[in-house]
């Protein structure tokens, strides 16, 4: 073996082992979901603590009325004497005037609602939540992001759990979708979100592993937040960060209700989806960097819980692994190093020709067997997310056959954003800088597939499109050499990756370049 072959072989084995770890975890959580039992809602009419619904808002002219109306309805259902709505408004545009108008109207009707504003947007969302926490007198805080519509009975179906369990810190609901059928992207993204809640969250809860507050659609015990050190803005995933501090440092636990649905708006464009994913990727991996060492040292967690915490917090490392695998396959193919770094290309010519295999040298036969084992392992890991998506669809009574195209689009999105998410992973792990919280635009467009193009807060085309285009060119070049060298195993993977990169590149360009400059999100609005 040459040094290049040894290096490629080593990298391919590392990628394979890590893919296997994350892929096998899908099967573990799928199995665990079968043991999920919804906690019984306590029936204690005398328990009626004070609750405040906090609504962090920043330039949300299209959705803020919908958000406040639904939150007020939840407060009225619970009882306005013990519940309130607090709008945490950091807006810099005319959203401020709209909020004042809405809040004033409800105040005249006797609703316990007010607005909190800060001079500076220090700490972004985490800063706003911490500021509101310090002036809140409520025992429990419910939080909803601007694109959510809380169910009217939300407080009635969550708060009672706290009355019989002093170690309960968070009750988290499942996200639903206001605009699932808006276009092909929202249909696909909805499936990915469903997997997170119906498989991952449900499975971790059933397996008694660490849970996370998802930043919205949940209720948190105020004293637990304070014990854990409050909301902190040194990551972009303040919700994940707080969740793990509450469970690791304070010994509290979390309840996940997969039958209580809090519907929200899904990003309808690739640029806005990439922006959301970038924030989640950077935030979760920075949280991993911050908290994993202490979680691994925590004597109150067993091996299973620590392993699940590692997989959970480092989940977005899948994207650097995807990108790294793609680059490895490309370069080993173009320079004819051998499939996945060590396999003799002549062994691949034996695929489908078993008579020649019997005549081949022992070395070539071993290479052939190695190629098959590696291929089977990769397939085993690759189909795991597909099985999770199918189970998520079936558990909601949705047709798998009618969602075939949506499943394919979800696959293309997942692979296609690996470049932009790898960049975010680098920001999180290789720097100590506190990155800006860049919001995901919402348009309140829930049907028809059109309308968002004419609204403000559009996402401009960023520089990653150049790199995405180069990856497409690289993939096409590698595909040519795959065909030339008859490298059939690599060919299939390269085609899938290249199509995914082209899909994201093309839609990023199309959905950004045609937007009027006057509608593009200004620097002060991010």
- How many angstroms separate the Cα of 268 from the Cα of each of 54, 62, 136, 443, 506? 26, 14, 35, 9, 15
Residues 173, 524: Cα–Cα separation, whole Å: 32
61: domain CATH number is: 3.90.550.10
Told to judge if 89 belongs to the known catalytic residues of this protein, a careful annotator would answer no
Same domain membership, residue 115 and residue 27 = no
- How many angstroms separate the Cα of 461 from the Cα of each of 271, 323, 419, 455? 7, 21, 15, 16
pLDDT of residue 358: 57
Determine the average pLDDT of the residues in 139-165: 97
> How many other CB atoms are found less than 10 A from the CB of residue 399?
9
Sheet holding 168-177, edge to edge: 113-116, 83-89, 51-57, 140-143, 218-221, 168-177, 253-264
Residue 234 lies in a domain: no
Residues 384, 118: Cα–Cα separation, whole Å: 46
Cα angle at 112 between 229 and 102, to 5 degrees? 105
Dihedral pair phi/psi, residue 177, rounded to 5°: -135, 120
Residue 453 lies in a domain: yes
239, 241, 344, 367: the catalytic one is: 239
89, 90, 147, 241: the catalytic one is: 90
Residue 165 lies in a domain: no
* pLDDT tens track for 123-145: 999 999 999 999 999 999 999 99
Same domain membership, residue 128 and residue 11 = no
Q: Closest Cα to residue 220, out of 130, 296, 292?
A: 130
Same domain membership, residue 417 and residue 511 = yes
| 338 contacts: CB under 8 Å, gap ≥ 6 | 5, 8, 332, 344, 345
Told to judge if 239 belongs to the known catalytic residues of this protein, a careful annotator would answer yes
Residue 514 has pLDDT above 70, yes or no: no
Residues 330, 332: Cα–Cα separation, whole Å: 6
Same domain membership, residue 430 and residue 349 = yes
* Range of lowest pLDDT (142-146, 351-355, 437-441): 351-355
Q: In total, how many domains does the chain have?
A: 2
In terms of residue numbers, what domain contains 73?
Answer: 46-151
* pLDDT tens track for 23-47: 999 999 999 999 999 999 999 989 9
* pLDDT tens track for 175-206: 999 999 999 999 999 999 999 999 999 999 99
Last residue of a domain, one of 151, 180, 205: 151
């Amino acid at each position: 073996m040459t040094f290049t072959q040894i290096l490629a072989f080593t990298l391919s084995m590392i990628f394979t082992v890590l893919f296997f770890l994350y892929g096998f975890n899908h099967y573990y959580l799928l199995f665990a979901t079968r043991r999920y039992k919804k906690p019984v809602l306590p029936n204690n009419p005398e328990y009626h603590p004070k609750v405040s619904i906090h609504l962090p808002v920043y330039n949300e002219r299209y959705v803020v009325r919908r958000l406040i109306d639904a939150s007020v309805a939840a407060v009225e259902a619970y009882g306005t004497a013990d519940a309130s709505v607090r709008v945490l408004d950091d807006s810099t545009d005319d959203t401020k005037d709209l909020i004042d108008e809405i809040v004033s109207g409800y105040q005249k009707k006797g609703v316990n609602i007010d607005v909190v504003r800060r001079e500076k947007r220090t700490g972004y969302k985490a800063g706003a939540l911490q500021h509101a926490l310090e002036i809140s007198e409520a025992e429990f805080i419910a939080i909803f992001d601007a694109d959510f519509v809380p169910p009217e009975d939300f407080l009635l179906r969550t708060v009672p759990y706290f009355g019989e369990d002093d170690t309960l810190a968070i009750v988290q609901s499942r996200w639903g979708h206001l605009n699932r059928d808006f276009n092909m992207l929202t249909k696909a993204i909805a499936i990915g979100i469903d997997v997170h809640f119906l498989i991952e969250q449900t499975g971790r809860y059933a397996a008694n592993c660490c849970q996370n507050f998802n930043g919205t659609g949940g209720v948190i015990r105020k004293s637990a937040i304070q014990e854990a050190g409050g909301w902190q803005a040194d990551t972009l995933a303040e919700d994940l960060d707080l969740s793990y501090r509450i469970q690791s440092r304070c010994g509290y636990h979390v309840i996940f209700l997969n039958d209580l649905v809090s519907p929200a708006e899904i990003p309808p464009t690739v640029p806005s989806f990439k922006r959301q994913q970038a924030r989640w990727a950077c935030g979760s991996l920075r949280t991993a960097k911050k908290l994993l060492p202490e979680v691994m040292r925590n004597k109150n967690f067993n091996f299973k819980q620590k392993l699940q915490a590692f997989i959970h917090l480092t989940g977005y490392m899948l994207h650097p692994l995807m990108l790294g695998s793609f680059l490895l396959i490309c370069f080993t193919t173009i320079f004819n190093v051998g499939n996945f770094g060590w396999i003799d290309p002549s062994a691949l010519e034996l695929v489908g020709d078993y008579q020649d295999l019997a005549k081949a040298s022992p070395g070539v036969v071993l290479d052939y067997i190695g190629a098959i084992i590696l291929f089977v392992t990769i397939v085993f890991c690759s189909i795991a997310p597909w099985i999770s998506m199918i189970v998520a669809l079936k558990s909601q009574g949705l047709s798998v056959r009618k969602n075939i195209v949506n499943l394919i689009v979800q696959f293309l999105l997942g692979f296609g954003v690996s470049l932009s998410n790898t960049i975010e992973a680098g920001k999180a792990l290789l720097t100590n800088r506190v990155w800006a919280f860049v919001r995901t635009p919402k348009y309140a467009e829930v049907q028809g597939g059109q309308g968002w193009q004419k609204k403000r807060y559009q996402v401009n085309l960023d520089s990653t499109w150049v790199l995405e285009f180069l990856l497409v060119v690289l993939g096409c070049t590698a595909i040519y050499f795959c065909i030339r060298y008859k490298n059939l195993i690599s060919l299939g993977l390269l085609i899938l990756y290249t199509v995914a990169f082209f899909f994201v590149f093309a839609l990023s360009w199309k959905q950004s370049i045609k937007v009027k400059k006057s509608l593009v999100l200004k620097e002060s609005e991010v």
